[in-house]
């Protein structure tokens, strides 16, 4: 039995996964993914160290809590269970793998990200502000407006049921715009889904798709977030 190195990056990814869905099947290998219960948010990550074997985990927050209860935890894999130990303790926790049949399936589909209308950077400070002010003002929707004619991109959390009320505007600086087509596009996502993103900066892509793609700028994780249907 080899000891699996729980790096800071892998731990952060698993904590983020746990916020998206409490149940996950971690596959043998480096590539991992999870999806929210509504199928509105999918996260795809790459572990630095390949996960040794496929392990269904019904209560990922509980497993992570067991790991964090030790000051310096170690994780090993047995045939039917994890074994968690602390570096300076003779004790151990035996945590059985779950029944795979109770874990919701995660789509293995590939997502089209070709022909984007807009690609831009949202630095970590902007992501933190969006989360903060949308939460303070109870703004349920985050709208992304890309205007090719005006050459502007604005991220705007607002109340879609009362658009004239309070809102927050983040105009993306020109230096952070990578691609902006001549046409315009506006899409909206739910703030509750934006809030699931790991803290940090992102490269955001909008295109002729029913989702936006967000790639973390320092951690090996990206997200596909479903856009809301256009209001008629």
pLDDT tens digits, 84-123: 998 888 999 999 999 999 999 999 989 999 999 999 999 9
Q: Which two tokens stand for residue 187?
A: 């899409």
With 0-12 CB in 10 A as exposed, 13-18 as middle and 19+ as buried, what is 203? middle
Measured between alpha carbons, how far is 118 from 45 in angstroms, rounded to an integer?
23
Give 22-40 as a DSSP string.
Answer: S-EEEPSEEEEEEE-TTS-
| Cα end-to-end span (Å), the chain | 59
What would the mean pLDDT of 174-178 be, rounded to a whole number?
96
User: What is Dmax (Cα atoms) for the chain?
Assistant: 66
Measured between alpha carbons, how far is 138 from 223 in angstroms, rounded to an integer?
23
Measured between alpha carbons, how far is 133 from 25 in angstroms, rounded to an integer?
34
- pLDDT tens for 181-221 read 988 899 999 999 999 999 999 999 999 999 999 999 999 99
What whole-number percentage of the chain has pLDDT above 70? 98
Measured between alpha carbons, how far is 105 from 191 in angstroms, rounded to an integer?
25
Q: Which helix (H) or strand (E) holds 62?
A: helix 60-68
Q: What is the mean pLDDT of the chain?
A: 94
């Amino acid at each position: 039995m080899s000891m699996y190195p729980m790096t800071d990056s892998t731990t952060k990814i698993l904590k983020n996964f746990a916020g998206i869905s409490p149940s996950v099947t971690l596959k043998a290998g480096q590539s991992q993914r999870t999806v929210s219960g509504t199928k509105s948010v999918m996260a795809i990550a790459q572990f630095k160290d390949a996960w040794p074997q496929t392990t269904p985990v019904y209560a990922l927050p509980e497993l992570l809590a067991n790991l964090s209860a030790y000051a310096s935890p170690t994780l090993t894999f047995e045939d039917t269970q994890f074994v968690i130990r602390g570096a300076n303790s003779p004790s151990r926790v035996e945590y059985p793998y779950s029944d795979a049949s109770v874990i919701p399936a995660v789509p293995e589909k590939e997502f089209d990200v070709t022909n984007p209308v807009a690609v831009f950077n949202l630095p970590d400070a902007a992501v933190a502000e969006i989360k903060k002010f949308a939460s303070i003002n109870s703004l349920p929707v985050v709208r992304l407006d890309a205007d090719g004619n005006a050459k502007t991109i604005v991220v705007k959390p607002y109340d879609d049921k009362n658009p004239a009320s309070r809102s927050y505007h983040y105009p993306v600086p020109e230096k952070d715009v990578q691609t902006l087509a001549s046409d315009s596009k506006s899409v909206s996502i739910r703030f509750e889904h934006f809030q699931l993103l790991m803290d940090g900066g992102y490269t955001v892509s909008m295109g002729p798709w029913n989702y936006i793609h967000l790639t973390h700028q320092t951690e090996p994780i990206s997200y596909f977030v479903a856009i809301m249907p256009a209001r008629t």
